Chain A
Amino acid sequence: MVQDTYDQRQLLLATLPPSRRQIRAALVVVATMLILFGVTVSYVNVQLPRVDAFIPILATTTVINDLITSILLFSQYSIARRRALLVLASGYLFTSLIVIPWALAFPGVFSPTGLLGAGRQTTAWLYTYWHVGSPLILIVAVLLKDLDNKPAESRRSPAVAVALSVAVVTATACGLTWFTIAGERFLPTIVLPDGVSLNRTIATSLSISIIVLAGCALVLIWIKRRSVLDLWLMVVCCAWLLETATATLFVGARFSLGWYAGRIFGIAATFVVLLALLSETLALYANLAQSIIRRRGDRHARQIAMDAMAASIVHEIKQPLAAIISNANAGRRWLKRATPALNEANSSFDGIASAGERMSEIVDGVRSMFRKGAHGQKLFDVNDLIQETLTMVDLDVRTQRIAVATELGNGLPQLFGDRGQLQQVFLNLISNAIEAMSSVTGRTRDLRIRSFLVQELSEVVVTVEDSGIGIEGHGSKQIFEPFFTTKSTGTGVGLTICRVIVEAHGGSLQASTNKPYGAVFQVTLPSADL
């Protein structure tokens, strides 16, 4: 099945390939960072004044940015269901959480020695978890991507998976913080007793491991790069590399120029994915809205064309009908005369007969018009057709808060016929169902579409069920009559034409009452294997 063609998941940032413009934008960001790095690297060890407000600003920005990024990524996961996204979202949540104790414990910010009963090493180690953890989680996410190639039909609902991840991440962040504070004596010393200078050996080895991890992540993403998200994650890796390089590798002490510059690279890193997600989401949303509006227009135009065609058929049929009735009445009068005018009566009957023939020609013409169609016939998959039709009513479904459930049978045989016409049938039935539910309050609005095979008859059955006002009191026969309508706006020809189309394909269209509310329309079509 080539179902993916119509899959909305294709439109997500995590799956959409980057455009040339986006690649160029990413290159510009990286180049800018490199230039800044080049400028600052020669002055890294210039000691600057200690600005205590810098840490809270840095921390707040990081917490908020990473939190929003993680929320956006979690929501992408809930749609795309790729575990890589879940891990990535968890990673951003982790950094946003670990930054909180880091800022609180930073000496001289909230209290001279830091809050939470922090020791001298606390912030340095929290910083390490943050900067080692981020590339590590990113590497895991990238490695998970391969497993996600086949969209795993996870049993768990995305909400449960997200809740679980949030719990694990929160527990980890809290646990690490506690361990760092309570177990400071078990950890190697990074910050020297003066509170400003660093232990070169440990600081350098930690920095090198961060750089190696970030580098690995960068290379891995480069190898497996596919999406817009991958592109911006590579930019993030570059920012990390530069941050670590300026902030710790060449830097001997806190509050030096390099230390400040490194933090600024760090903040830049938190903005990258966030801004990319926001701008791409907005752009995609705009595209989507546009295409939905366009599609609505198409639908409307097709509806009008259908109405016009129906009206012309009706006109054609009424002509001979008028002739039949007039001739019959005239014939009766000719015969009722004192001396029956037999010749005249005879020609009245001739008139009736030729009008009858004309009607039969018209009906044949209509049928062959539906049978051949302008688009020709072909083999097609009915489930694809249903999915495609559902996307056409997506906006209505959302705005009217209708719950759509599909149970599309696996391995259904292909159908042969005019795909466009049958799409009109499904569109009509689904639109009717939506409309029938528009006045429903006090109960859920459920649209259920099922497709299945009736093996012994080799027929494919599609049912459209709603919980709307139903067809009670109208009778399931009457609703197929032309110009019968329960709607305030409608020509009443829709269902008649639907039935004509389905019957022209050798199938049938039936209506019945749904339990406990609403209506069921059932389309039965012969499979192409027949």
Chain B
Amino acid sequence: MKNDSSGKSIVFVVDDDPLVRDAVSNLLRSVDLQTRAFGSASEFLREKRPTLPSCLVLDVRLPGASGLDFQAELSKLDIRIPIIFMTAHGDIPMSVRAMKAGAVEFLTKPFREQDMLDAVKLALERDQGRIEAERASSELKSSFETLTPREREIMALVASGLMNKQVAGKMGLSEITVKVHRGRIMQKMGARSLADLVRMAEALGVRASP
């Protein structure tokens, strides 16, 4: 299996049974995935996780809290890592609960390797997408931070669909000044068109004050 994310992604394996933990890690490493294995949920939490696309292969039955409880805890801590559950019980209600809470896959042991590898691939892709989206959103935010208060105001008005003349009228400026500001806004935000700028304003939640 060719994996684009090899070396640039990481799979965390949490299972209290070392046999299973090592076997799953071994399987994932054999397809060139980087893995990190833990015997318990708390060990995983203590570990400093790199900001690479990653996913969590988690046993449902863990000492202390169950895998499902751990899933809820992660979501409370705002750790949005895709989870693949493993269980030796073929428990349907449990799998439904896990999937509803956003698990990528629910595998029963002994699982087929292809199921595991497909699930991991899907999870990593999903995480990659999430990371990209987060990065884009944070870039947008920092660009917006560089705007002056006046520029922000003009951006909001432009995004709300007003012509330069109307903006100038509303703000008591000359149309030329508005044009200059607008050019600077486009440049600072890295917007290629007006439509692009409107989309950014939308994503940032920028609205013209009435």
Interface residue ranges, A against B (CB under 8 Å): 311, 314-316, 318-327, 329-331, 333-334, 344, 347-348, 351, 354-355, 358
Residues A319 and B30 in contact in the complex (CB < 8 Å), given A311-B89, A326-B113: no
B101-145 vs A, CB cutoff 8 Å, 1 = contact: the mask equals 000000011110100100000000000000000000000000000
Does B26 have its Cβ within 8 Å of any Cβ on chain A?
yes
**Option from A318, A321, A348 in Cβ contact (under 8 Å) with B26:** A348
Q: CB-CB < 8 A to B110: which residues of A?
A: 318, 321-322, 324-326
How distant is the Cα of A348 from the Cα of B23 in the complex, in angstroms?
7
CA A325 – CA B114 in complex, angstroms?
Answer: 12
A331 vs B22: C-alpha distance when bound (angstroms): 13
- Assembly CA distance A59 to B150 (angstroms): 119
Closest to A317 in B: B88
Q: Determine whether B31 belongs to the interface, using a CB cutoff of 8 Å to chain A.
A: yes
Closest to A337 in B: B30
Taking the nearest CB of chain B, how far is it from the CB of A231, in angstroms? 59
Question: A residues within 8 A CB of B20?
Answer: 319-320, 322-323, 326
How far is A326 from B37 in the complex, measured between Cα atoms in Å? 15
Q: Tell me the bound Cα distance from A322 to B108 in angstroms.
A: 9
Across the interface, do A319 and B17 meet the contact criterion of CB distance under 8 Å?
Answer: yes
CB <8 Å contact, A323 and B23: yes
> What string of 1s and 0s marks CB contacts (under 8 Å) between B51-91 and chain A?
00000000001000000000000000000000000101100
List residues of chain B with CB within 8 A of the CB of A354.
Answer: 19
List residues of chain A with CB within 8 A of the CB of B109.
Answer: 318-319, 321-322
Q: Is the CB of B88 within 8 A of A326?
A: no
B29 touching A330, Cβ below 8 Å? yes
Complex Cα distance A330/B24, Å?
Answer: 9
B29–A319 CB distance below 8 A: no
Q: A322–B29 contact, CB under 8 A?
A: no
CB distance from B71 to the nearest CB of A (A): 20
Give the 9 A-B CB pairs with smallest separation, nearest first: A322-B109, A318-B88, A333-B30, A323-B23, A326-B23, A322-B110, A330-B30, A329-B113, A323-B19
**Complex: A320 Cα to B27 Cα, angstroms:** 14
Which residues of A are found within 8 Å of B27, using beta-carbon distances?
326-327, 329-330, 333
A351 and B88 contact, CB distance less than 8 A: no
Q: How many A-B residue pairs have CB under 8 A?
A: 77
Q: Which residues of B contact A355 (CB under 8 A)?
A: 19, 23
The 17 listed contacts between A and B (C-beta, < 8 Å) are: A314-B89, A316-B88, A319-B20, A320-B20, A322-B24, A322-B109, A324-B23, A326-B110, A327-B23, A327-B27, A329-B27, A330-B30, A347-B26, A351-B22, A351-B23, A354-B19, A358-B19
Q: Is the CB of B88 within 8 A of A323?
A: no
- Please indicate the chain A residues that have their CB under 8 angstroms from the CB of B89 in the complex: 311, 314-315
- In the bound assembly, the distance between CA atoms of A348 and B29 in angstroms comes to 11
Bound-state Cα–Cα, A319 to B109, Å: 7
Tell me, rounded to whole Å, the shortest Cβ–Cβ distance linking A334 to chain B. Answer: 5
**B21, chain A: closest CB distance, angstroms:** 9
Q: List the A side residues contacting B19 at CB < 8 Å.
A: 319-320, 323, 351, 354-355, 358
User: Which B residues touch A327, using CB under 8 A?
Assistant: 23, 26-27
Q: Is the CB of A351 within 8 A of B26?
A: yes
- Shortest Cβ distance from residue B15 to the other chain A in the assembled complex, whole angstroms: 9
Q: Which residues of A contact B116 (CB under 8 A)?
A: 326
| Closest B residue, CB atoms, query A329 | B113
Given contacts A333-B30, A344-B29, A351-B22, contact A319 B88 (CB under 8 A): yes
Partner of A314, one of B29, B31, B88: B88
Complexed CA–CA distance, A315 and B60 (Å): 12
| Residues of the B chain whose Cβ atoms lie less than 8 Å from the Cβ of A329 | 27, 30, 113
A315 contacts across to B, CB distance below 8 A = 61, 88-89
Contacts of A322 in B (CB 8 A): 20, 23-24, 86, 88, 109-111
> Measured between alpha carbons, how far is A439 from B71 in the docked complex, in Å?
46
Closest to A336 in B: B30
- With A and B bound together, what is the CA distance between A195 and B29 in angstroms? 119
Beyond the given A333-B30, A351-B22, A355-B23, could you list 15 further A-B residue pairs with CB under 8 A, ordered by the A residue number? Answer: A311-B89, A315-B88, A319-B17, A321-B109, A322-B23, A322-B24, A323-B23, A324-B110, A326-B27, A327-B26, A329-B30, A330-B29, A344-B29, A344-B30, A351-B26
From B89, which residue of chain A is reached at the shortest CB distance? Answer: A315
Q: Chain A residues with Cβ under 8 A from B111's Cβ?
A: 322, 325-326
* B-chain residues with CB within 8 Å of residue A347 when the two chains form the complex: 26
Nearest CB of chain A from residue B129's CB, rounded to whole Å: 27
List the B side residues contacting A318 at CB < 8 Å: 88, 108-110
Q: How far is the CA of A31 from the CA of B83 in the complex (A)?
A: 85
Chain B residue numbers with a CB within 8 Å of A344 are 26, 29-30
Chain B minimum-CB-distance residue to A348: B26
Whole-angstrom CA separation of A383 from B149 in the bound complex: 96
- Write the nearest CB–CB distance from A358 to chain B, whole angstroms: 6
A322, B61: Cα distance in complex, Å: 15
Nearest residue (CB) in B for A341 is B30
CA distance A482 to B111 in the complex (A): 18
Q: How far is the CB of B167 from chain A (nearest CB, A)?
A: 62
Residues of A within 8 A of B22 (CB): 323, 351
Residue among B17, B24, B88 with max Cβ neighbours from chain A (10 Å): B88
B109, closest chain A residue (CB): A322
Query: In whole angstroms, what is the CA distance A284 to B111 when docked?
Result: 57
Nearest-CB residue, chain A, relative to B114: A329
Min C-beta distance of A188 to chain B, whole Å? 91
| Most chain B CB atoms below 10 A, which of A326, A327, A333, A348 | A326
Which residues on the A side are within 8 Å of B30 (C-beta)? Answer: 329-331, 333-334, 344, 348
Question: Are A326 and B17 within 8 A (Cβ)?
Answer: no
Instruction: Tell me the bound Cα distance from A347 to B20 in angstroms.
Output: 14
| Alpha-carbon separation in the docked complex, A321 to B26 (Å) | 15
Closest residue of chain A to B21, judged by CB?
A323
Q: Smallest CB–CB gap between B76 and chain A, Å?
A: 28
Q: How far is the CB of B37 from chain A (nearest CB, A)?
A: 13
1/0 per residue B16-48: CB within 8 Å of A? 010110111011011100000000000000000
B207 to chain A, nearest CB (A): 53
Residue contact A330 to B26, C-beta cutoff 8 Å: yes
A330 engages B23 (CB within 8 Å): yes
Residue of A nearest to B61 (CB): A315
* Chain B neighbourhood of A351, CB < 8 A: 19, 22-23, 26
Interface-centre pick from A316, A333, A334, A354 (highest chain B CB count, 10 A): A333
Q: For B88, what are the chain A residues with a Cβ–Cβ distance below 8 Å?
A: 314-316, 318-319, 322
Contacts of B86 in A (CB 8 A): 322
Query: Within 8 Å CB of B17, what residues of A?
Result: 319, 323
In the bound complex, residues from chain B placing their C-beta under 8 Å from that of A316 are 88
Q: In the complex the two chains form, what is the Cα distance from A430 to B25 in whole Å?
A: 48
CB distance from A322 to the nearest CB of B (A): 4
